[in-house]
Structure 1
Amino acid sequence: MPEWFRQRYLDLLGSIYIYNEHRGYTAIDRVLDAIRVRSPEDFALIAAVEKHRADERKHYLMFRRWFELRGTMPLFVDRACGHIDRFVEIMFRTGIDQLDTQKIIDSDDQFEKLCRVISLTEKRGFKQVEILLTHPLVRNDKVLMTILAIVHKDEPSHWAPYDGWLLHHRRGGSTRWERAIDGFIHSELLFVKLPLLFLSPFLRRRADWPDAVDRVEAGAAHFDLA
């Protein structure tokens, strides 16, 4: 039973990560679209967000490789387990896929809000990785520990361009309300959704990889994590 418990936990953890990493880099494509129109000459900002996008893609591929080494597919989790999904839905009253990019382009206030949401999401992810790196159920999986160490190293550069834009344009940092929403979303996942998914006998595995429908990158990079 303890080994089954551990494997179920890791299976669910990896599945949530692979969903969020995929959702992350595909959502950043839309952020980049907005930045390239709003600030086409801000090469530093564009390059920093492009790196963020590339890192999210890299992390996704590492988690995919982890599942491949285990000889199994991720569990099917959806936007209910997506931190950025829930944050955008609450703050913008619409899903990521329905977010009006033109409004983000036209409005400093909307872009400012988006920057704060992304920054808080990335900082939340960093804190969570720090916890997982010391988690007894995770530490025995050397491949997963390697992946999380890379994510931990990459993460601080991910919120930097958004915080930098806010500072450069003399915009405020996150509000108390936004931090409360961030905390609520994390607690909801940790104490409600995760236990329900863990115990659900109906949770099935994916039949394909999330990036099967990506609009870019026809081939997946290989990561030698074994």
Structure 2
Amino acid sequence: MSGAFRDRYLDVLASVYLYNEHRGYTSLDRVLEAVRLVCPDDPAFIAEIVQHRADEHKHYHMFRRWFERQGRMPLAMDRRVGHIDRFIFRTFGCEIDELDTAEITANPAEFEKLCRVIMLTEQRGYRQVEILLANGWVRSDPIMTRIFQIVHKDEPGHFLPYQHWLERKGRATARWQERLSDFWIHRALLFGRIPALFLNPALPRLERWPHEDDAAPAKAA
């Protein structure tokens, strides 16, 4: 029985991460569009965001290859398991794909808010990976463990660029309302949505890989 629970746990966990990594790198194209408009004279910051996107893309394909080794497709996930999806909706009142890049770049406060949302989401991800690396079921799978070790190593480069930019501009790196949103989103996922997926035997699997529908990747600066 414990083996079946372990396999289900890893199946759900990898499916959630695969969704979020794919959502991450595709959404960063919109962030890059905004950064290039707001910070055209800051090539180092732009390059850091380009690297962030490349890391998320790499992580997605590591989870994809894990599933290929298992001989099955990931479980079907949607925006309800996306921390950044929920955070963007709470903060901006729209889905990631509906973010108005022109409006964000025209309003410094909105751009700073976007940077804080990304920073807090990635900081949350870093802490969560540390917890997972101590999880016995994760550590029982050497490939899964190695994936999370790589994610953990890359993760600081996913929040520090935004944090440092805000600090250089003398802006707040987080407001209490944003930290509260981050906390409740994490709790809702950890104790609500994800356990419900674990207990749902009828959860379907994807029929094609998410990256097969990707648009052309953003070009580096």
Common topology (TM > 0.5):
yes
Query: 1:46-97: per-residue Cα shift (whole Å, max 9, x none)?
Result: 0000000000000001011111111111000100000000000000010001
1:181 aligns with 2:170: no
The alignment partner of 1:85 has SS state of helix
- Between the aligned partners of 1:97 and 1:108, the Cα distance in structure 2 is 20
Identity, in percent, stands at: 54
- Between the aligned partners of 2:102 and 2:164, the Cα distance in structure 1 is 22
Report what 2:194 is aligned to: 194
Report what 1:48 is aligned to: 48
Matches within 5 A, 1:70-219: 70-216=70-216
- Between the aligned partners of 2:20 and 2:216, the Cα distance in structure 1 is 18
Report what 2:2 is aligned to: 2
Deviation at 1:179, TM superposition (A): 0.9
What CA RMSD, in Å, does the superposition of the two structures yield over aligned residues?
0.8
Runs of 4+ residues over 6 Å off in structure 1: none
- Between the aligned partners of 1:45 and 1:67, the Cα distance in structure 2 is 34
Query: 1:135-184: per-residue Cα shift (whole Å, max 9, x none)?
Result: 01111100000000000000001111111111111111211111111111
- Between the aligned partners of 1:216 and 1:70, the Cα distance in structure 2 is 29
1:13 aligns with 2:8: no
Report what 1:224 is aligned to: none
- Between the aligned partners of 2:37 and 2:194, the Cα distance in structure 1 is 39
- Between the aligned partners of 1:213 and 1:189, the Cα distance in structure 2 is 26
- Between the aligned partners of 2:174 and 2:111, the Cα distance in structure 1 is 13
Query: 1:179-199: per-residue Cα shift (whole Å, max 9, x none)?
Result: 111111111011111111111
TM-score (norm 2): 0.96
Deviation at 1:34, TM superposition (A): 0.9
Report what 1:34 is aligned to: 34
TM-score (norm 1): 0.94
The alignment partner of 1:184 has SS state of helix
Instruction: Give, as a single letter, the amino acid of the residue that structure 2 aligns with 1:54.
Output: A
Deviation at 1:115, TM superposition (A): 0.4
